[in-house]
Amino acid sequence: MLFICHGATDPYFNLAAEEYVLEKGEGAAFLLWRNGPSVIIGKNQNAFAQLRLPFVQANHIQVARRLTGGGAVFHDLGNINFTFITDASEHDQIDFARFTAPIIANLKQFGVAATLNGRNDLLAVGRKISGNAQCVYHTDDGRRRLLHHGTLLFSADLSRLSGALQVNREKMESKGIESVVSRVANIRELPGYSGPDTVEAFLQNLVDSAAADYGAAREYTLEESAAIRRLAEKKYSTWDWIFGQSGEYRVRREKRFDFGSVSVSLDAYKGVIRRIAFFGDYFGAEDTAHLEEHLVGVQLEPKALMDALADCERYIYKSTSKQLTDLILG
């Protein structure tokens, strides 16, 4: 089995690397990697519904979209990601137990009794320590390949996780859980954990265990790295891939400001505003209908919105483009 472990922490490079190994590789591969602060959304998710974009922007958190389905996850250097890639027959289907078993076995040596619970989570003492996702990938030359990847929260900043992600209240309440942070846990902080204290040492243990099973790890060659960077630049880091896949989106938000209350209702498709309306007890020298018309066709992206709202005080007295942009983006 090909085993790759490297120091790149750019989420666009790392997600492109998975696709590169899927497309160009043959046989099985195992990858270990980390990302800097980032939110990775599932292939089928609406980015605008999943993220608190003002928080994400203010905290310099990158947003990326992966090849697999499932929910949004937060990554930082306190989180370790693992990837299994194999050839797949036409009969192979999604199977989380197969690829989480070696991870569960590795955690057991440190006193962590992890179990695969529900669809795709690893739990320990009732709290989530790993989220997993899978897909079947069809290569350009007609082969079927299976991608499984997962997270291992070791010492992640859970306050950033909570701040970056929108909470699906219906889902959380149905499980009787009060918040995102109460649902997840870092491995290092689990009762009974007896392993390394730093994420670097924990990662090295994973490397050593994988090397014993799969052979020595290697990094990407210069040729591979160049190809992966091109894919990251042309696909994974683009607005069209990250936000333009979001499909139809409707939202209504309201906030009270010093100058009055403002409510915004909008419809968007693929990250572009199709209809928007402002309501509230604010004052304005000109009709907000003109501002609304000006915003149609604008991307739901902070800079584009700030530019389009540059003259907003003419329509909503004493408002700023930053305030209205944050309201629109939630």
Kindly list the domain boundaries of the chain, sorted by start residue.
Answer: 2-242, 248-329
What is the phi/psi pair of residue 201, to 5°?
Answer: -70, -35
Ranges of the chain with pLDDT below 70: 91, 118, 167-182
What is residue 51's predicted lDDT score, i.e. its pLDDT? 86
> What order of strands is seen across the sheet that includes strand 2-5?
2-5, 29-33, 79-87, 144-153, 127-138, 121-124, 115-117
What is the rounded CA–CA span in Å between residue 186 and residue 116? 16
> Tokens 């683009």, residue?
238
What is the rounded CA–CA span in Å between residue 83 and residue 290? 50
What is residue 117's predicted lDDT score, i.e. its pLDDT? 86
What is the rounded CA–CA span in Å between residue 66 and residue 194? 33
What is residue 244's predicted lDDT score, i.e. its pLDDT? 85
What is the rounded CA–CA span in Å between residue 145 and residue 134? 11
Using CA atoms, how far residue 94 sits from 119, 136, 168, 317, in Å, is: 10, 8, 24, 54
Regarding pTM above 0.75, the answer is yes
What architecture is the 248-329 domain classified under in CATH? 2-Layer Sandwich (3.30)
The burial of 320, by beta-carbon neighbours within 10 Å (0-12 exposed, 13-18 middle, 19 or more buried), is given as middle
Name the DSSP class of 53.
H
Name the DSSP class of 89.
-
Crossing angle of helices 199-214/96-108, nearest 10°? 120
What is residue 266's predicted lDDT score, i.e. its pLDDT? 92
Top-tier CATH class for 2-242? alpha beta
What is residue 104's predicted lDDT score, i.e. its pLDDT? 96
What is the rounded CA–CA span in Å between residue 141 and residue 167? 40
Using CA atoms, how far residue 277 sits from 9, 168, 230, 273, 292, in Å, is: 40, 25, 40, 11, 6
pLDDT tens for 105-138 read 999 999 999 999 867 899 999 999 999 999 989 9
User: What single letter denotes the amino acid at residue 277?
Assistant: A
User: What single letter denotes the amino acid at residue 264?
Assistant: V
* Same topology between domain 2-242 and domain 248-329: no
Are 281 and 303 in contact, with CB atoms under 8 Å apart? no
